[in-house]
Copies of this chain bind each other. A is one copy, B any other.
Amino acid sequence: MTHATTESTRTEHARAVPAGGGSERGGRSAAEPRIDVGLVGDALLGRWKQERLASRELAADPRLHTIPGQSMAEHRERALEQLAILVEEGAIQRAYPGDLGGSDNHGGNIAAFQELVLADPSLQIKSGVQWGLFGAAILHLGTRPHHEKWLPDVMSLKLPGAFAMTEIGHGSDVASVGTTATYDPETREFEIHTPFRGAWKEFLGNAALHGQAAVVFAQLITRGVNHGVHAFFVPIRTPDGEMLPGVGSEDDGVKGGLNGIDNGRLHFTHVRIPRENLLNRYGDVAPDGTYSSPIASPGRRFFTMIGTLVQGRVSLDGSAVRAMMAALAITVRYGSERRQFPGADGREKVLLDYGQYQRRLIPRIAETYAMAFAGERLLTVFDEVFSGERDTDENRQDLETLAAALKPLSTWAALDTLQEAREACGGAGFIAKNRLTGLRADLDIYVTFEGDNNVLLQLVGKRLLTDFSARFKNADAATLARAAAGQFTERVTRFGLRQLAQSVADFGQVSRSVEILRSVESQRALLTDRVETMVAQVAMAMRDATKDIPKGDKQALAVAGDAAFNTQQHKLIEAARAHAELLQWEAFTEAVEQIDDAGSRQVLTWLRDLFGLGLLEKHAAWYLMHGRISGQRAEAVTAYIDRLIGRLRHHALDLVEAFGLGPELLRAEIATGIEAERQEEALAYVEARIADGTWPTHEKDLRAQAR
């Protein structure tokens, strides 16, 4: 086992722990496998390790840190100053073209961005608004003249901008925005107009104070035809902060988090911009008003334009995982030192030795690993598409589906983990300087922005339905019924409707019955089967709902289809979630297989099994109802999970140490060893008083002796 590669990512505290594991590791025996913290840390850092480490170094800079309790006005100014520091430090240029000062490094750009959540989420998201949305829209939706004209000032922050897509009346449904951009061939201008209050642009970072321009999404109308949503570059403010004529702004005020960002509303009253301000990569208007586009279908064109937004989702996915890592590193450290209630030996027990505490934290470590590896895979696909290496329509669609599947689960998991960590640290978790509440408040909005999580999962569900339909296009009813019963393939029928026989065989043989579930193939088959069956069932239900309606009656078909979809919506979203869980499990499994070190692989295999069996336990009702596992086997799953958790408890500190987050990134007082010091001081006090005979006898003991 080599530690040669590990030192750079190990924390100071980790080094202070005696080799071989101190008592805080819960008495692991020497013969047991251990992870190589550096090696596992490298696996988590992934392909863009250098970019991540550089960004972490930057995130450790106190100038970039949150100041709890700072007023909104001060925090907003500070965030703007922090953006200037990012420019100076060369932290934001990576995704831009080489000749404009960038390095065309798309994956590395997002990887570095994700790590900035460890400095301050406000700073992170404000930089995302400026360079990941405003700048990226000019880059991806505009063409060379736009790049040359605006990108240098965007990159240098001379031109702060807003990304004006969302409206008060339209969040996730971008296609329906109300803002119009009507072409006037007389003056060769577009007129940007907000026709009603619901069409005000809303929740835009940089809109309330700092933005001088905005990329505005509006319905492009020329020659009386609406060509759908396009993006326009619209100046909104002078460098002195005065609104330009016809542009109005309203401050969103205090928010539940991210108060370093000046979110606000924008509205436009017949604001005129030159024809050239249309970001015209996917659709253009000639001087005479003729519309043209390289993409004939308005639907495909819309989704292609919106598709460039996928980088926001990829960014949030990895950011959420970093926040989970921080929460768990803080809490596992604290839980390894904090003592509460006397154990059998009379001394108070360390929190992490309690069964319930382990149940709360250790499965979340497994989930964090799964999500980190899945996020790495997503980032790789993203880089392949955006670098042009594999930029095909199919890859773009896969990328979007993957991002839409992973971002909801990781951003929700981040809130869940931050909250569980907060509670596991008790009152100390509620104190701002221990960081858990601040991160949670800031990350709250990650679950609904860059695509509401439920809407994204529905998107994934629809894609799964489409794939299913394509696969069973010419299938007869019996085949479909078999599919809905989960009998897709040989692989799956091994776990098919054989509950009764299995129950008998399993009875009393818990160890053997779990043996099967521990195999990679069984876990994969069970997880895959669930996704496929759920999708098939939704597809069947929707087909049944419309099968008696004449094909010609489009309105009746639409109404019935809408009603059926509504009834199935919850199930479809659950199917999408199951799909995302399978992807996470696959990524985790693949990552474990690539690890050479035997000890690391063993421990991570337990962790992967905990993740996989945890999914089976969570969805046990489904597996039981569908006859995929027997009651005995389901009990065996829980029993084995309990064993895995007990075993992994001894590796919990190593596993969070591999996240590589030193004290300068965690910055939580309770994770500095202060609790262990206090415990030692208290113990020493009691022992000294016992030694010098001044420790008072307890009335309880006197009474016990008297009896």
Which residues from chain A sit less than 8 Å from chain B, CB to CB? 68-69, 71-72, 166, 168-173, 176, 178, 195-199, 202-203, 219, 221, 224-228, 252-257, 259, 291, 297-299, 339-345, 348, 353-356, 359-360, 415, 419, 422-423, 426-427, 429-433, 436-438, 440-441, 444-445, 447-449, 452-454, 458, 500, 555, 558-559, 561-563, 566-570, 573, 617, 620-621, 624-627, 631, 634-635, 642, 677-679, 681-682, 685, 696-700, 702-703
Contact = CB atoms under 8 A, between A and B. Distances in A.
Contacts of A71: 69, 71
A224 B415 CA distance: 50
Nearest to A627: B631
A590 to B, nearest CB: 29
A682 B199 contact: yes
A436 to B, nearest CB: 8
Of A173, A353, A432, A567, chain B has the most CB atoms within 10 Å of the CB of A432
Given A68-B254, A427-B202, A567-B642, A344 B225 contact: no
A634 B625 contact: yes
A344 B430 contact: no
A1 to B, nearest CB: 31
Contacts of A256: 422, 429-432, 436-438, 440-441
Given A254-B432, A426-B448, A340 B170 contact: yes
B698 A228 contact: yes
A141 B449 CA distance: 52
A11 to B, nearest CB: 24
B702 A437 contact: no
Contacts of A426: 171-172, 448, 452
Nearest to A557: B344
A356 B569 contact: yes
Contacts of A555: 344
Contacts of A431: 252-256
A558 B195 CA distance: 75
Contact of A427 (B171, B355, B634): B171
Nearest to A634: B625
B699 A298 contact: yes
B69 A226 contact: no
Contact of A559 (B171, B252, B344): B344
A630 to B, nearest CB: 9
Contacts of A569: 354-356
A681 B168 CA distance: 13
A253 B198 contact: no
Contacts of A299: 700
Of A226, A344, A441, A567, chain B has the most CB atoms within 10 Å of the CB of A344
A257 B360 CA distance: 23
Nearest to A445: B430
